[in-house]
Structure 1
């Protein structure tokens, strides 16, 4: 799959993932409210209490899920979590025997809103509280472990879905940041190259032209024809050099491709080291070796078994060789000089 298709698929996943998390966050409360009306020992009143309490706390919960799925903490999340907890805990004696399963949403919101040092112990307390609430609503002690298991599994499944959506959002942000970094590096390289080569040549031509004008103003005409001829030839050579460099700038930079590959692997958790030779490198890289390098990097990003990678660049007999060594494999790419 080429880069454009990969970016399109990632963008679609990032757009759809928060919505999928919201849908799943709504389904469980809907099922719970439906069961509240027909659960043994429950009546119309408990069903109504369950419906009202769910309609009250669910917007807070969905707000937490929506922000977390996009990789950010919800603003004023602690206050909305407190309001959500007040509704769920306050409705526990009134909403029937199925209501302790609403603690799933409370555990999920606590994990999404609070820092881990607070969220983990609070989630454990809420898990225990759900079993005690079930016991207080008539559940036998033998059924309490099953309730704990369902609350734990439900909250874990929801958290995995939300965290996956957040990871996709962070991955897209990292790719965009790396792309911007690569563009900035390429612009700096072009600017330095132009200033060092064409800038110096143009300054020399301007200085020689000014000197010729000064000689002409003083009436010194001897040798002006030869000087102007050499000046014209140098200007044409500089123009040809500028055109050649512009054509080269349209081709991607080898160093930028290598640095981008190393940055992508490092961002994905692969410890990557880029080893460059002491001598100069070709300024650009052709389409074929560039595609091969990107294909290897894409495969390493998908291969979660790779933990380390060394990108070695060597120059032998005027030819550049790229070697990517991972934990258990090595691949080589030849780059024409």
Structure 2
């Protein structure tokens, strides 16, 4: 298993517009699958059921109906209602279905099913709950007025018209909800980034404000002392150097603290990433609070967790993942297992870089086959135990 750059998805996510031609074609194919139900009108046009003029006009009408249906469902399922345009498209579909059914016979009644599906796909739920039964009622009324026995045909179309229409109501609501969730997530991420920038600005102000003010004052004082008191001016310059060096150290420590990930943050991120990928995650054995874990070692474990979760999401094909943190002697062990395909060939760049990162923190990495199949990753880092003086221990024993 190895980490690669995030591949571009071939499928447009639910609630999002297609961004590439490939995504557009795939979405169009999914919508077009249901056009197989138009086999009866197509056979009626291509067969010897009507005269040449009727066949030509019927074919044009069928093409116009399919084009209007695809344009309507493809463009408006996950968008907010554009009332005038959507109602005009639905009116055109209803008119075509009505005219073609009355002119060419029962085989064309299936068009009303597509009108019902269109109502569910593009209308708000409250309006769709009225429009779908209305379309179905028109289907029954038109079919009942036709000569011959069409009762069985009408019965076969009633359930698809109602079920398909109301199913599309649910699909539309899911698409709109998913889109709203994505927008809310993007807003939260933007606000979090702004908050982090403000916090960084406050911290840098607190770190550098006093130091820079002191440097400015001592520089002015050294300038006034320089002609008559060079030794005192030199002392002020030495103080300026000391303060500036300390400010540089403080800034470096602050920046390294921002860059270093924490176990608590990575565990929260792992839960979100795995849940979004549809992978069940068990974090019950991963308590992030370990007082004996130094910051550098915690950062190395956090990177290991991020790398492992990324591999599980992208490459494992797993349905379940478990993360545990256990103490093993003077070491803390992070274990990530899944039930996916298991280890592949040679380790990728991600695991190689993780091994090097753990080595810098005096840790080590172990990977292999999980006990129940899948991939196993173990990352070890040393714990810093407090040193207890021998005399203190002896004193405690004497008091006992």
Q: TM-score, normalising length from structure 2?
A: 0.58
1:259-284, Cα deviation, whole Å (9 max, x unpaired): 656777899999xxxx998x9x9698
Residue in structure 1 matching 2:74, options 55, 66, 72: 66
Q: Tell me if structure 2 keeps the 8 A contact 1:103–1:126.
A: yes
**Aligned with residue 142 of structure 1, among 140, 152, 156:** 152
1:296-315 CA deviation, whole Å, 9 max, x = no partner? 8999xx97x9xxxxxxxxxx
Distance 1:59 1:192, change over 3 A: farther
Alpha-carbon separation, structure 1, partners of 2:167 and 2:37: 15
Structure 1 equivalent of residue 112 of structure 2 = 103
Deviation per CA, 1:124-149: give whole Å up to 9, x if none: 22123323333333443233221223
Unaligned runs of 5+ in 2: 281-286, 321-330, 335-377, 384-400
Q: Secondary structure at the match of 2:9?
A: helix
Q: Where do residues 267-306 of structure 1 align in structure 2 (5 Å cutoff)?
A: 285-286=299-300, 287-292=303-308
Q: How far is the alpha carbon of 1:90 from its aligned partner?
A: 3.2
Tell me which of 8, 22, 39 is aligned to 2:28: 22
Please name the residue that 2:220 is paired with. Answer: 210
Residue 239 of structure 1 pairs with residue 245 of structure 2: no
Q: Is the 8 A contact 1:49 1:95 kept in 2?
A: no
Contact 1:100 1:130 in 2 (8 A): yes
Change (3 A) 1:135 1:9: same
Separation of aligned partners in 2, 1:3 and 1:167:
31
Q: Indicate conservation of the 8 Å contact 1:18/1:162, yes or no.
A: no
Contact residue 65 and residue 93 of structure 2 kept, 8 A: yes
RMSD of Structure 2 on Structure 1 (CA):
5.3
Following the alignment from structure 2 to structure 1, what is the Cα–Cα distance between the partners of residues 80 and 215?
A: 59
TM-score by length of 1: 0.67
Structure number, greater radius of gyration: 2
1:288 deviates by 0.7
Shift of 1:199: 4.0
The 5 Å alignment of 1:260-271 reads none
| Aligned mates of 2:108, 2:261 — CA distance in 1 | 60
CA-CA distance at 1:161 after TM superposition: 7.7
Structure 1, unpaired ranges of 5+ = 306-318, 323-332
Q: 1:125 aligns with which of 134, 138, 147?
A: 134
Query: Structure 1, residues 45-96: CA drift from partner, whole Å, max 9, x if none?
Result: 5433432223333333222222235x31363322322233223223321133
Match of 1:198 in 2: 208
In structure 1, the residue matched to 2:124 is 115
For residues 3 and 176 of structure 1, the distance between their equivalents in structure 2, rounded to whole angstroms, comes to 24
* 1:201 to partner: Cα distance: 2.8
In the TM superposition, residue 37 of structure 1 has moved relative to its aligned partner by 1.8
Within 1, Cα distance between the matches of 2:253 and 2:171?
52
Does residue 1:36 correspond to 2:44, yes or no? yes
Q: Tell me, what secondary structure is at the counterpart of 1:72?
A: coil
Alpha-carbon displacement from aligned partner over 1:152-197 (angstroms, at most 9, x marks no partner): 5665787788788778766766665565455444433433332222
Contact map agreement 1:42 1:96 (CA 8 A) in 2: no
Q: 1:229 is matched with which residue?
A: 238
2:359 matched residue in structure 1: none
Distance of 2:380 and 2:220 partners within structure 1: 45
Q: Structure 1 residues 150 and 112 mapped into 2: Cα distance closer, same or farther (>3 Å)?
A: closer
Instruction: Provide the secondary structure at the position in 2 that maps to 1:98.
Output: helix
How many residue pairs align between the two structures?
325
C-alpha contact (below 8 Å) 2:101/2:107 kept by paired residues = no
**Does structure 2 retain, via aligned residues, the 8 Å contact 1:68–1:166?**
no
Pairwise CA distance, 1:116: 0.2
